[in-house]
A = this chain, B = another copy of it.
Amino acid sequence: MNILVIGDIVGRPGRKAIRELLPQIQKDYKIVFTIANAENAAGGRGLSREVMKELLSHNIDVLTMGNHVWDNKEILNFIDDEHRLIRPANYPPYCPGQGYHIYSAAFNQKIAVVNASGRVFLPSLDCPFRVVDEIVSEIQKESDLIIIDFHAEATSEKLAFAHFFDGRVAAVLGTHTHVQTADEKVLPGGTAYITDLGMTGPVDSILGMQKEQVIEKIIYQRPVRLEVAKGACQLQAVVLNFDEASCKCISINRISQELPA
């Protein structure tokens, strides 16, 4: 049984990559369940209702978010209505939206997806180790497998998080840096891990945004409005292969496909 988890989708080019590359990938890898990070899906910042609908219509089962979750204020209107959309579980409890959900997938598996955010160089949220520990304890019985999108900056925090949950969850998959790492593996306890899934969006860019603008922002140290870049797109993800009987993760493999402009 194969599950696909897709790195941060950035703007229109990211959605184009989803539209044009995802069907074939799902077919080639016999994907039964697809998760994608959508925190940059609407114009590079947050998520709108239209963009959410568009992504869900392309056979994505769950959308996860990150530090950009509230950038598009429209989300406050629909985040509590869509169970296929989750945001970092460690935002304060009075924030709208949910941090995890249990889905029914093919073969009757119960797949729990949890979204959490790191705190190093990121907003001051509740401790993701404690919050997710409580969630995992609560849902472990009713879930066949638990997949966590851990949205974080620092490699140390991501690795610590994965080792902390190793053996208790099926996978800890990093997002946020938009650069795919080459360290995918199944940890000693059986949890699949990668530091970062990478980015689904324009190739010739800096994290999906126009290079010249990002460079200007850095060398002038002044605020610059960043816009999504154009041109060729990429889709980056991992395929998790699970044993259907035991729901143990057998392998994790990186995918990086490019779509010419």
Q: How far is the CB of A169 from the nearest CB of chain B, in Å?
A: 15
The reply to whether B198 and A177 form a contact with Cβ atoms under 8 Å apart is no
The reply to whether B181 and A181 form a contact with Cβ atoms under 8 Å apart is yes
Q: Measured between alpha carbons, how far is A95 from B94 in the docked complex, in Å?
A: 25
Interface residues on A, range: 35 or more
A211 within 8 A of B: yes
Sample of 9 further A-B pairs with CB below 8 A, known A121-B153, A124-B221, A164-B219: A69-B222, A70-B223, A91-B222, A92-B220, A125-B221, A130-B219, A159-B211, A160-B215, A163-B206
The reply to whether B183 and A183 form a contact with Cβ atoms under 8 Å apart is no
A182 contacts across to B, CB distance below 8 A:
180-182, 198, 254, 256
The reply to whether A160 and B121 form a contact with Cβ atoms under 8 Å apart is no
The reply to whether B155 and A178 form a contact with Cβ atoms under 8 Å apart is yes
A121 contacts across to B, CB distance below 8 A:
121, 153
The reply to whether B129 and A127 form a contact with Cβ atoms under 8 Å apart is no
A207 CB contact (under 8 Å) in B156, B178, B198? B156
Answer whether A207 and B127 are a contact pair too, CB < 8 Å, given A92-B219, A179-B183: no
The reply to whether B92 and A130 form a contact with Cβ atoms under 8 Å apart is yes
Q: Give the number of copies in the complex.
A: 4
The proximity string for A residues 66-87 relative to B, scoring 1 for CB distances below 8 Å and 0 otherwise, is 0001110000000000000000
A123 within 8 A of B: yes
Q: How far is the CB of A191 from the nearest CB of chain B, in Å?
A: 13
Which 3 interchain pairs have the tightest Cβ spacing? Answer: A182-B182, A70-B222, A119-B124
Q: How far is the CB of A253 from the nearest CB of chain B, in Å?
A: 12
